[in-house]
Amino acid sequence: MFFRQTLSIAGILLTLAGVFAGWVGVSLALAIGLMLALTLGNPWPAQSGKWAGWLLKTAVVGLGFGLPLDVVLGTALDSLLLTIATIAGALLLGRWLATLFAIDRTLGQLLAAGTAICGGSAIAALAPVLKARGEHIAISLAVVFLLNGLALWLFPVLGHWLGLSDQQFGLWAALAIHDTSSVVGAATAFSEQALPVATTAKLARAIWIVPLVLLFSWRQRDEGEAITIPMFIALFLLASLARTLVPALAEFAPLLTTIAKQLFAVSLLLIGYGLTFPVLRQIDWRSLAMAVTLWLLLASASLFALINGWY
């Protein structure tokens, strides 16, 4: 046990050195984390998950210092109608697919919300309102993290193969990939220009957690539940506002953006490190089939809309 932990720590430290030296990007960081988890295990799942979430939110705020507020708001407004359409479509399709695959209603709602809005954050926010059981939360998170990893490697390849523009790919990643970390990772792998589009569109999408939780709270008729609001989105907007109002920050924007990307890579390293065999064994075929089907339908529909200029 001690030997395996020592090897895990060594692998993580070497990867961290590679990330901050510029040798290890987001895709490779995720792959290394997954390899360490599947070969050596993860003796610190709670701690690594907590740090992954904290680093992700810090990185998002850091990206805000490189994006003027008018760019952020412009991108959010450009994708507003398509965002609303895909969220509504994913939630309705998710409900139908859950019935089709004979999945527990609460589990189906968690998977649909995670696909529709922002993966693990939406699941974590909605779970208390739905009074979801622990196994339902674990299964939905495991499925989302698995598909996130696949999307991080698959989307940039498909984007280049299809000849998507930076704007199209950034919006597609924001609309069709579950978590912010993988959206940023995929956009970074595609091009520098796709990154700000993907980041702002994804965060605009993530704001829909709030009305979604309010809707389900109303349906559950339980006013005692607290609503989890993703504060890192507000901090991202404040950072973007500071970048707009303080011209001197423009000088530091490239450095802050580079640090933010490195933090994203570390976050993905820890996310991959959390995908151990015990976590993956929690996924049953019905849940996976439902989530994959919904994801493919959402990705295909949003891609079709973007290619045809419906945004």
- pTM given for the model: 0.80
Instruction: Report yes or no: 168 and 307 within 8 Å, Cβ to Cβ.
Output: yes
What is the rounded CA–CA span in Å between residue 311 and residue 306? 7
pLDDT of amino acid 226: 54
pLDDT of amino acid 278: 85
Residue 273 Cα to chain centre, angstroms: 16
pLDDT in tens, 242-300: 988 988 888 888 898 889 889 988 988 988 888 888 878 878 899 999 999 999 999 99
pLDDT band at 114 (very low <50, low <70, confident <90, very high): very high
Q: Is the pLDDT of residue 136 over 70?
A: yes
Q: Which of 224, 230, 197 is nearest to 211 (CA)?
A: 230
Instruction: Report yes or no: 173 and 187 within 8 Å, Cβ to Cβ.
Output: yes
pLDDT of amino acid 50: 86
Position of tokens 């990643």?
173
pLDDT in tens, 224-245: 555 555 677 788 889 989 988 9
pLDDT of amino acid 229: 55
Q: Is the pLDDT of residue 223 over 60?
A: no
